[in-house]
Structure 1
């Protein structure tokens, strides 16, 4: 998976306008005056942040070891802006006492390098349906989450969220449960992103499973939506 970011710098500030397009070769990117293009890849992610198995066990509180919480952060070029790929910190409605916790099932990102192209259930949720892994290197990011419609309003609490922030990143505010995470927002333009299905989602859409019908059976389709 690859993400390209463009930044127009005004002193210490960044001007933003969000747009997602198909990726092109880096040499073909048109760079406007004042902009710089930075490619964010995942080839240098610390081993401790990569999924230990195809389920991503180390991204859950039940893991018998060090849980990954704040997610991977990458610096954007030589700027003071970082891109953060966290796991959501949310109120656990199904856990006794309803604590606030990091849990990948509540949405977020896992860094992975698994390419199991046959496992068709959630235990293989961190495998990409691609023999070589990510776009330019073996590592990639798995996004998980969903939105909930309630009448005319939509909640994105459990969607996977990418933060542009400073080097501190978005951190837990333990004293304020109404604002569980807080950070300094920075701004930039998403120029392009490479997207591929996980094996679990691909096989579920292709063949169906105990929860979903195969898309071909219902003339279905799959849509990826980015919300700024």
Structure 2
């Protein structure tokens, strides 16, 4: 009888343990634009937008994913994409220069459509969580654009002469995801090296790699900053200014939110 009672008690304990584990499982949502571009070799074409200042080159327009979970900043001009984010299915991995917005992978992580971004102080790349009470940022897959990859690998940015140098020992190119609260205060930063030639390494990212945002998961929005060892200095109205030569472009796919 004692053995039977002990067996029943053990069975109840195992059952309750399984139930607790199930309660800890959180749902994940992956942002997907796969069905938004029916044409091959195409990209988002914005048809509306405003200039934040009359002297600006670019119009700004924000777009959302099909399920209205996140919002992306998008800048464009008459000649095309200017900055922030766009989505595309382009596959050109050989043409240098800023007009080529293709990922060096020639496709997304899980499909054909992915995001290309150009981030600068004039056109910041920003992703906003539209439901921070329900979801948190988890991360995304990241890779280089063809433009940045060829500039780093061959010193070819599509210009003649080129403004960039071929990377050598000690060089690096990194992206920093900066998380912000709704009121604009910073909550944290996460770095990812898109090229790393430090300590004998010669890595230039040319596959999709995971970029973990769990450290800034509670951010209301994320902005992306790029930095490099390849910079130039020039004088602007008597002030010495440093400018990055490495193209400030990158690609994302599989942006993932996790249930709060």
Q: TM-score normalised to the size of structure 1?
A: 0.52
Q: From 142, 155, 163, give the equivalent of 1:211.
A: 163
Distance, in Å, in 1 between the alignment partners of 2:114 and 2:172 is 24
Could you tell me which runs of 5 or more consecutive residues in structure 1 were left unpaired when the two chains were aligned.
Answer: 1-29, 62-66, 76-80, 93-100, 148-156, 167-184
Q: Which has the higher contact order (CA 8 A, sep 6+)?
A: 1
Q: How does 1:1-228 map to 2 (within 5 A)?
A: 33=24, 35-47=26-38, 52=42, 58-59=45-46, 69-75=61-67, 82-88=69-75, 104-105=81-82, 107-124=83-100, 126-131=101-106, 133-147=107-121, 158-165=123-130, 188-209=135-156, 210-216=162-168, 219-228=170-179
Distance, in Å, in 1 between the alignment partners of 2:42 and 2:139 is 28
CA-CA distance at 1:187 after TM superposition? 6.3
Could you tell me which runs of 5 or more consecutive residues in structure 2 were left unpaired when the two chains were aligned.
Answer: 1-20, 49-58, 157-161, 180-260
Instruction: Report the structure, 1 or 2, having the larger strand content.
Output: 2
Tell me the C-alpha RMSD between the 2 structures: 3.6
Distance 1:117 1:88, change over 3 A: closer
8 Å contact 2:31–2:65 — kept in the other structure? no
Distance 1:146 1:68, change over 3 A: closer
Per-residue CA deviation, residues 61-102 of structure 1 (Å, 9 max, x unaligned), is 8xxxxx994324232xxxxx611223049xx9xxxxxxxx9x
Distance 1:127 1:146, change over 3 A: same
Partner SS for 2:152:
helix
Distance, in Å, in 2 between the alignment partners of 1:31 and 1:224 is 36
**Equivalent residues, number:** 143
Distance, in Å, in 2 between the alignment partners of 1:123 and 1:33 is 46
Distance, in Å, in 1 between the alignment partners of 2:117 and 2:153 is 19
Distance 1:88 1:138, change over 3 A: same
